[in-house]
Structure 1
């Protein structure tokens, strides 16, 4: 069975004859007759009574006409949805997310809903390395990742930039300054997460230290911000670097100062090549959100 056969059948039923149906369909009458005859042979029933001057539906034809209209309506809807998906206004977008300041991700998703109301976003939060791997494998369409660099099988589309902060003991002389430079931290132990926990951010900080000409001694690894700040307050002098997720924390015996001359960029990790319509809508929403701050 072909969809055009159902279209011809419905046209004959509604027009009351093969000639009028052919004119409506802009094809020759013999093609309409041949295709409906093939449909009848496939179904094993007569759909039309051709014994009178006017073509009439048989009992089977009356019953199947309703179903044929439903099939054609469903096909039309399928085509419309497929067109909307191709335009990026419908479909599903699998997105790796992260914590961001001021509910930024939620606001971006609200912007996206205004741009493409029928586009379904399926957010998923994973560690940075797993987010990157999911985009490479095709498990995710895109992922927000901080400090991401382009690499084989991956592109980084920048969406926003945030400042970095240093946490160090409140009694340290640098705590008296409004901001701290990396070169001033050369002799203080650095608490940095292991590279496999967050490769992009680890590489960002180690490269920044190299450019600044310092190689600070390694302190205990960064675990969570809360645990690390508590350790800085209680243990031997050390420091860590972090980005704001919610409000900057206030911790007894810990000073938090801006890291002068250093920022962290959040990018949308995607597969190589021009982004499709849905990803373009997402990028527009992310940029709108960043511009509104």
Structure 2
């Protein structure tokens, strides 16, 4: 049997779209090429994989049976490519680091320290959700990732990095904006715009706990979406508040919004470098040391 990988890829895409035009658009090829390759695949297998009509495309029983195998083969191919990419990066001195959002000045300092310690190495930065970055470190696709908050039972070593204070973002027109520092309790009457716990459990738990320590349960307003939309809503919409990492807030100046330190209590988020529990190669040792030096600089 001679089945090509591209035929399986076209088959999977059509199985997801159930529309030749949309499948061709996703694959960036013409529709006739999708039809041609699927016909060849069907001839090779000796079965029809789709019921086709002028209005609908549906998987046949044979198509349903083939789909999980096609997905498994394509996933294995992707994993094999990632393994080869990992080998190539190790050979050319590249370190692949997953990053968190809002690192701001922390990331600049880390990059500078890494270059001092390993001037011939390359540091590739990868952005993805936290769970995905941790998975990639476990699989070897990433050498390490920065994470915020505790992440138990990951199978990785969490090396302490720095601790980031958070500041409040307030409407510039609000009475609290004139204060140099804002007590948590003073925010009790304002809706809080925060990412859901499902999206960012460490941040959600930290802020809600700080509010409760200050004597109130926060009133949750609309969820934090993007920096642009959320800050615009705070600056010019119904008064509300959110939090930002101080290292990030110092790099932006949104209109209609001010950032102020928080007290009573001051929310502080610990950050970690997650690595596999294997002996690190030289370039990764340099990254670990760069994180440690960046953390020491933050305390100085």
TM range (shorter): 0.5 to 0.7
Unmatched 5+ stretches in structure 1 = 1-84
Query: 2:140 maps to which residue?
Result: 138
Distance 1:278 1:150, change over 3 A: farther
- In structure 2, relative to structure 1, the CA distance for the partners of 1:200 and 1:126 (3 Å cut) is same
Residues 205, 237 of structure 1: alpha-carbon distance in 2 compared, 3 angstrom cutoff: same
**1:257 matched to 2:260:** yes
Query: Residues 116 and 213 of structure 1: is their aligned pair in 2 closer, same or farther, counting only changes over 3 Å?
Result: same
Cα deviation for residue 275 of structure 1 reads: 5.8
Which of 166, 179, 182 lines up with 2:181 in the alignment?
Answer: 179
Q: Distance in 2 between matches of 1:209 and 1:193?
A: 15
Deviations 1:151-170 (A, max 9, x none): 44233222222321111223
Q: 1:240 to 1:94 in 2, by over 3 A?
A: same
| CA distance 1:270–1:201, change in 2 (3 Å) | farther
CA, structure 1 residues 179+246, in 2 after alignment: closer, same or farther (shift >3 Å)?
closer
2:144–2:273: 8 Å Cα contact kept in structure 1?
yes
Contact 2:145 2:274 in 1 (8 A): yes
1:159 and 1:283 in contact (8 A); partners too: no
Question: Does the 8 Å contact 1:166/1:242 carry over to 2?
Answer: yes
Residue pairs, 1:75-224, within 5 angstroms = 91-98=93-100, 99-102=102-105, 104-224=106-226
Q: How many aligned positions are there?
A: 206
The answer to whether the Cα contact below 8 Å between 2:134 and 2:154 also exists between their aligned partners in 1 is no
Structure 2: give runs of 5+ residues left out of the alignment: 1-86
> Which whole-Å CA distance do the structure 1 matches of 2:133 and 2:219 have between them?
30
Q: CA deviation at 1:229?
A: 1.4
Give the counterpart of 1:226 among 225, 228, 245.
228
Q: For residues 131 and 212 of structure 1, do their structure 2 counterparts lie closer, same or farther at Cα, with a shift above 3 Å needed?
A: farther
In 2, the alpha carbon distance for the partners of 1:197 and 1:159 equals 22
Give the Å deviation of 1:185: 1.6
In 1, the alpha carbon distance for the partners of 2:215 and 2:140 equals: 39
> Structure 1 length normalisation: TM-score?
0.59
Give the alignment's Cα RMSD to 1 decimal.
3.1
Are the equivalent residues in 2 in contact too, given 1:129–1:199 (CA < 8 A)?
no
- TM-score between the two structures when normalised by the length of structure 2: 0.58
- Deviation digits for residues 156-203 of structure 1, max 9, x if unmatched? 222222321111223333223211122222221110012333333223
Match of 2:14 in 1: none
Query: Contact conserved, 1:128 with 1:197, CA < 8 A, in 2?
Result: no
**Alignment partner, residue 282 of structure 1:** 287
